[in-house]
Amino acid sequence: MKRLGILNSEIAKVLADLGHTDTVVIGDAGLPVPEGVVKIDLALTPGMPSFQEVVRAVADDMVIEKVTIASEIKDANPSQHEFITTFFDQERQYVTHEEFKKLTRNAKAIIRTGETTAYSNCILQSGVFF
């Protein structure tokens, strides 16, 4: 049994298999999952687990070089936008929500949270630790 880090076996495997520039999406309960992309569904009830809880756990176990978010988050969900901008010091990229959904097609996995606030989604691009 693992002592530290992500205990969820599906998430741990995805993170272990990432290469440089591969992406993982952390999404709210309503984010569509494109055909062919692995969905890891953590949603239990509305709000549980939260977007922020899952982001923190994944970020503790992943080398992240860039974060992509929908530009609409700035006005539609300022508290989540503030969380992302203060939590991540990595490069941030803003795209429209429609472009965001297109980018999810290339993700290694989408981790679905129980979050029910608008635009609580991010794409984490893998970096390297060396």
Q: Could you say which residues of the chain have pLDDT below 70? A: none
In order of 95, 102, 127, the CA distances from 61 in angstroms are 25, 26, 12
DSSP 90: S
pTM for the whole thing?
Answer: 0.96
Amino acid 101: pLDDT: 98
Residues 6+ apart with CB under 8 A from 104: 25, 27, 31, 32, 33, 34, 37, 110, 123
- Flag whether 121 is marked binding: yes
- Flag whether 120 is marked binding: yes
Hey, which residues does 126 pair with through a beta bridge? Answer: 64
Does residue 64 contact residue 90 with C-beta atoms inside 8 Å?
Answer: yes
Amino acid 3: pLDDT: 85
Amino acid 50: pLDDT: 98
Q: What is the tens place of the pLDDT at every residue in 82-112?
A: 999 999 998 999 999 999 999 999 999 999 9
Which residue, among 119, 32, 116, 44, has the nearest Cα to 84 in the 3D structure?
119
Residues 6+ apart with CB under 8 A from 53: 113
The fold for domain 9-126 equals RbsD-like fold (3.40.1650)
Is 81 considered catalytic here?
A: no
- Flag whether 8 is marked binding: no
Q: Which of 16, 17, 20, 78 does the annotation list as catalytic? A: 20
First to last CA, the chain: 27
Amino acid 1: pLDDT: 80
